[in-house]
Each structure stands twice: as C-alpha cells, then as structure tokens.
A and B are shown apart, each in its own frame.
Chain A
Amino acid sequence: DGGITQSPKYLFRKEGQNVTLSCEQNLNHDAMYWYRQDPGQGLRLIYYSQIVNDFQKGDIAEGYSVSREKKESFPLTVTSAQKNPTAFYLCASRTSGRLFFGEGSRLTVL
C-alpha cells in the first residue's frame, strides 16, 4: 500500500540525548514536512523540503535538524539543544494541493 511510514511510534529519551525520527514515503512526492503538536494545540511547522537535497526552516526549527538525501526519506533529529522536546511529531508529504500524513511519533523526554 502507498503511504507514509513514521517510526518509532513511541520513543523515550533521556535529557541530553539526540534522537532521530524516521519518515519514509512511497508516494513519489517531492515535498515533505515535519510538524510538532503539543497537547491541545495546533500543528507547528519545524522543517520542510520541496526537493531532494534542499530543505527550509519552518516556524520552530531551533533544536532540530533534517536531511533529504533521498526522495523517499526525510528524517528529523531532535537534538539536545531543543529545550522542550516532549511532543507528538507528524510527518507529511504533498502532491499538488493535497497533504498526506503519517501516523505520528510520540517523543517523551525523561
């Protein structure tokens, strides 16, 4: 089935550790996005990429990094510089005027 796969679904990390969230799509979409969602709040854009080897910061990029070496993959690294990383992270890809979302990754910092 075509779609977007995020892993892991749940992740726990100790303070000071970097962690990488995976996002893979087999929809052949050029554009991919990472959003963060805090409890009871809307989605805020972290990073996005419109083409391989190119990406732009969103509204809350500080403490995060991404890469886009392959069209199918857009991993997000939450670094130790991110002050409050506990959140729900959603990856999406886009074709023309439609976004498709993964099922999300829940990161908890202990």
Chain B
Amino acid sequence: AQTVTQSQPEMSVQEAETVTLSCTYDTSESNYYLFWYKQPPSRQMILVIRQEAYKQQNATENRFSVNFQKAAKSFSLKISDSQLGDTAMYFCAFMKHAGRGNKLVFGAGTILRVKS
C-alpha cells in the first residue's frame, strides 16, 4: 500500500519570501503521479501542480515548483514570492499511473500561513 507523509503540520512565511513544503512517499510502483493540492478556507480542493514519475524534469506552474527526487521518494513544493492568497492547507498526494484500485492517497496536510 502507498503512504504519503507530510512532516510539517504548520509553516509560516513572510509575504514575498520563498517557502518549501516537504513530502515523502512510499510505493513499490515504478510509474505514478504526484500532486500538490491547495485547500483554502472555502475548502475547495485546488490542484497546484502535478508530476509524472517517468518525467525527470521538475514540474513548474508560475510561482510554484517541485523538487522531485524519485530515488529518495521525495516531492517538495516550493512557493516563490509568497502572497497572502497562498494561505491555505496544502496536501501532497500520490496516485498509481493505471490499473485496478487506482485512487488518490493523501498526506495529512501542512497549514501554510503567509504574513504581511
């Protein structure tokens, strides 16, 4: 079974600065997807970034980028130029690439607070 671990329950960052959220996972699969989701106070789940395990290049979406280390099973999220609107709960998640029982497994989440 796959597991996802987020070791930082809470983090804070000053507006305009950079912050990195950590995530590690455990799987015996060789091909899979990794995700970072943002959940603001509205509780809507918003996809921040997605990484396919077979792609060596780290995914980037505007101010958000990941550091994907497949051998170490690590998938950290870097937020540059932090904005007040980035304040939210952030979830790391794993999904097998294909096959029966294909489901999204979430970490426990990291609360990020951006301070002005």
Chain A interface residues toward B at CB < 8 A: 31, 33, 35, 37, 40-45, 48, 50, 56, 58, 88, 90, 92, 94, 97-99, 101, 103-104
Contacts and interface: CB of A to CB of B under 8 A. Distances in A.
B24 to A, nearest CB: 14
A108 to B, nearest CB: 14
Interface stretch (B56-64, B70-78, B105-113): B105-113
B104 interface: yes
Interface of B: 33, 35, 42-45, 47, 50, 52, 91, 95, 97, 100-109, 111
Contacts, number: 50
Contacts of B52: 97
Contacts of A58: 103
Given A50-B100, A98-B47, A42 B33 contact: no
B78 to A, nearest CB: 21
A42 B91 contact: yes
B104 A97 contact: no
